Amino acid sequence: MSAAAAIPRRRVWSCMGTVFSIDVRSSGVESAVMDDVVAYSHRIDAIFSTYRPGSDISRLGRGEIRLAACAPEVREVLRRCAELRVETGGYFTAHPSGRLDPSGYVKGWAIETISDLLVSAGSTSHCVNGGGDVQCIGEAAPGRPWRVGVSHPLQPLSYVGVVESAGPLAVATSGTAERGAHIVDPHSGRCPTETASVTVVGSSIGLVDAYATAALAMGRDAEGWLDRQPGVSGIVVGADGSSTWLRAG
């Protein structure tokens, strides 16, 4: 193995309207693999972007094409969204505001798939970050776990806390800090205002990202619901700035 191959590899790029980054701490992952991962993220964006009239998801939503004519990833994502709708009592849906838009799952799923691609390429320790939602595998360094800071939605440059694990570690946050009240309760059609942010911690970023979206949509019921979910923990910050840490279910 060359000395260059042993150096941790990092890549930062813009995609899906946010910033993605990869930080590989294990040796053996070549630069070409990083190139492939970046290209993959842009392909997924081209398929699922609701801002591109020609994307598969936009055309499917307008009824111009059938599901069979879409990229296979669309079927995979919509199948999982249907499962998540059941798991969350309808608070997570691929049809927020009544139109087809699985964005609440796509980014987390893409992050997780990128992590899986890196594992397949030989990585044993890495972190994939997509707009603050992260999937970590292995350790940040031998004997040192990954540590992820959870930003306070109402206090810029402050943190609610830090979570850490030797991996796998997945952390996702839904909140009002950057985009205001934008998550809609599918049952009432309104944007809950009782909660400023919900962070969910687990091992799968696709799952915790969807759960964070669902919990934020639940408003005051978020804490009780999250506390009953197996294998995840959470941090709920109220509109008044108070925070509640929920144990792993």
| pTM score, whole prediction | 0.91
* Residue appearing with tokens 């993959």: 40
Sign of the alpha-carbon dihedral angle for 69, 74, 80, 82:
negative
Neighbour-count burial of 190, counting CB atoms closer than 10 A to its CB (0-12 exposed, 13-18 middle, 19+ buried): exposed
The predicted pLDDT at position 183 comes to 76
pLDDT one-digit tens code per residue, 167-219: 799 999 998 655 555 677 787 777 778 889 999 999 999 999 999 999 999 98
Question: What is the spatial distance between Cα 224 and Cα 104, in angstroms, rounded to a whole number?
Answer: 21
Contact between 210 and 108 under an 8 Å Cβ cutoff? The reply is yes
Question: What is the spatial distance between Cα 219 and Cα 185, in angstroms, rounded to a whole number?
Answer: 8
Could you give the 3-state DSSP secondary structure of residue 21?
A: strand
| pLDDT confidence tier of residue 2, bands split at 50, 70 and 90 | very low
The predicted pLDDT at position 179 comes to 58
∠ at Cα 66 (64, 70), nearest 5°? 100
Query: 83 pLDDT exceeds 70?
Result: yes
